[in-house]
Structure 1
Amino acid sequence: MDIKYDLSSYTRVLKLASTPSWEEFSRIALIAGAGILLIGIVGFLIFTVMSFLPGGV
């Protein structure tokens, strides 16, 4: 393991990284929130269906 090479790789990545603009951040947050909401709805629907089936939860 070459520590000097690893540190130079990490610093190169940090120099290339930039803070997202507010528009980009809000778009990413909206898409992530929609994904979380969709997974929650699917889980709730599965729970509801399993509750009505015989031998369910």
Structure 2
Amino acid sequence: MEVPKDLTSYVRVLKLASTPSREEFMQVSFIAGAGIVLVGLIGFIIFVIMAFMPGGV
């Protein structure tokens, strides 16, 4: 592992990175939020199904 080589690659990546525009940020936030809600909904549906099964929760 060559430390100077690693540092230069990190600096190069940081130079290429840019702050997202408000539109990009809102789109990513919406998609991430929708994913969180979807996973929660699936978990809730599984919980409801298990609660009504004999010997469930």
Q: TM-score range by the shorter chain?
A: over 0.9
Which position in structure 1 is the counterpart of 2:51?
Answer: 51
Matched residue, 1:7: 7
- The one-letter code of the counterpart of 1:32 is A
Unpaired runs of 5+ in structure 1? none
Normalised by the length of structure 2, the TM-score is 0.98
Please name the residue that 2:30 is paired with. Answer: 30
With the length of structure 1 as denominator, give the TM-score of the two structures.
0.98
Separation of aligned partners in 2, 1:17 and 1:43: 36
Runs of 4+ in 1 over 2 A off after TM superposition: none
Residue 19 of structure 1, CA deviation: 0.3
Q: Percent identical across equivalent pairs?
A: 63
Cα distance, 1:8 vs. partner?
0.2
- Could you list the runs of 5+ residues in structure 2 that have no partner in the other structure? none
Partner in structure 2 of residue 16 of structure 1: 16
> What is the count of residue pairs matched by the alignment?
57
